[in-house]
Amino acid sequence: MRGMRPRVFAAAMAAAGVIAIGAGCGGGGGGGATSGGTANLVATPGITEQVNKKIAAEVPSSTKSKGTLTVAADATYPPNEFIKPNSNTVIGMDADLGKALAEVMGLNADVKNVTFNAILPGLAAHKYDLGMSSFTVTKQREKEVDFVSYAIAGTSFYVKASGGPNIATIADLCGEKVAVEKGTIQADQATAQSKKCKAAGKPAVSLTTYPDQNGANLAISSGRSDVGMADSPPAAYIVAQSNGQFKLTGKPYGEAVYGIAMAKNSGLAKPVLDAVKQVMSDGTYDKIFKYWGLVKTGPSGCPCSINNPQINPTNVPVS
C-alpha cells in the first residue's frame, strides 16, 4: 500500500541490494505478477467496459457532474498498486479494476498516488471518491468509511534468505524485530501479538512502522529489522523481485476481505457494488486478477478473487 516516487524507489532499492525488475512475467507467460519473471506488466489488455445506464443512474449527481471518479491508492504495494517504471502512473490490480468500475458507471477514473495512512481521512474530507489500496475490511474501519468487498487475502512473513529467523506462525514473533507499514492490519496484528508475548512471560515484539512498504523492506535488507509482514500477494512479489535476498517463511494466515472504501453515506456504495457485480459477470474481473497473478494458489497465497461482493460485510475482524 504505500508511496515513493519511481526514481527514489529504484535508488533506494538498489542501495539496499534489492533491484526492482518489473512486475513478474508477461500476460502470456501464465505465471502472473508474483512468479518472478522479468517482463513488465503494465495494464490488463483488452479491458473496455460499456456504460451500464442503470448503474450510471445510481451515481450521485455530485460525482456524475464531475465526470471523473477520483481513486486514491498508495502505490508501493505491487502487484496490487504500484508506479509504472519511469512514470508517475499508478498501475496494478486496483488501478485496472478502478478504471473498469468507472467505465461501467459512465465516468473516467483518475487514480492518484496517496500515502496509505492519508487515504481514509481524505475520503472523509471528500478529497477522493474511492480508496482502492488493498484495504482489509475491519469493524473499526467500517466506523470511518463504507466498504464494498471485492477480494480476499491473508498475511505472509518474509525474512532474509540467509540467516533470517524461522517464523512459522505469528506466535513466533516474540522477541523478533518486525517491520511493517503504518496503518496496516499487520501493524495491529503485531502489536496485539506483542501483548500476548509479554503476558506469557516472553520478550515483546520489537515493532517498527514505516510510512510505506518500501521503508519496511529496506529495514529488513539493511538488518535493522528481521521480519517483514504484508498481505500475501505483495509479500510474494517482494520475495520474487529481491534477487534471492528475501524468502517467505511459514504459511499465509488470517484471510480477510479487501474493500473499496468511500466516505460514509456518500451514495456511492450501491453503484460501486453493482459495478463490481457487472465486471464479475462479464469476465473483466477474472481477466484482471489473472493478469496480475491473483487467481492461482502458490506463493501468493491466492486465489484472491471472490464471487459475493457486499456493502460493509459483517464477518470481518474487529481491527
pLDDT of 30 over the 60 cut:
no
Strand pairing category for 76-77 and 81-83: antiparallel
Cβ(70)–Cβ(90) below 8 Å: no
Tell me how far apart the alpha carbons of residues 228 and 160 are, in angstroms, rounded to a whole number: 9
Residue 114: count other Cβ atoms within 10 Å of its Cβ: 24
Tell me how far apart the alpha carbons of residues 127 and 125 are, in angstroms, rounded to a whole number: 5
Q: Which residue has the higher pLDDT, 8 or 295?
A: 295
Window from 16-20, 50-54, 78-82, 271-275 with minimum mean pLDDT = 16-20
Domain with CATH 3.40.190.10 in the chain: 6-34+52-151+258-291, 155-254
Looking at the DSSP bridge assignments, the partners of residue 39 are: none
Task: List phi, psi (to 5°) of 313.
Answer: -55, 150
Window from 18-32, 223-237, 298-312 with minimum mean pLDDT = 18-32
CATH class of the domain whose range is 6-34+52-151+258-291: alpha beta
Q: What is the pLDDT averaged over residues 19-34?
A: 36
DSSP state at residue 205: P
Q: What is the pLDDT averaged over residues 268-294?
A: 96
DSSP state at residue 117: H
> Exposure string (b/e) for 236-271, b if CB count within 10 Å is 16 or more?
bbbbbbbeebbebbbebebebbbbbbbbeebbbbeb
Window from 75-79, 91-95, 169-173, 200-204 with minimum mean pLDDT = 75-79
> Exposure string (b/e) for 216-233, b if CB count within 10 Å is 16 or more?
bbbbbbeeebbbbbbbbb
Tell me how far apart the alpha carbons of residues 247 and 235 are, in angstroms, rounded to a whole number: 9
Query: Would you say domain 155-254 falls under CATH 3.40.190.10?
Result: yes
**pLDDT reported for residue 300:** 75
CA 123, 129, 130: angle at the middle one, nearest 5? Answer: 80
Which ranges of the chain does DSSP label H, i.e. alpha helix?
6-15, 53-58, 61-64, 93-104, 116-124, 139-144, 185-199, 213-221, 232-240, 269-281, 284-291
Q: What is the pLDDT averaged over residues 203-214?
A: 95
Helix (H) or strand (E) holding 111: strand 108-113
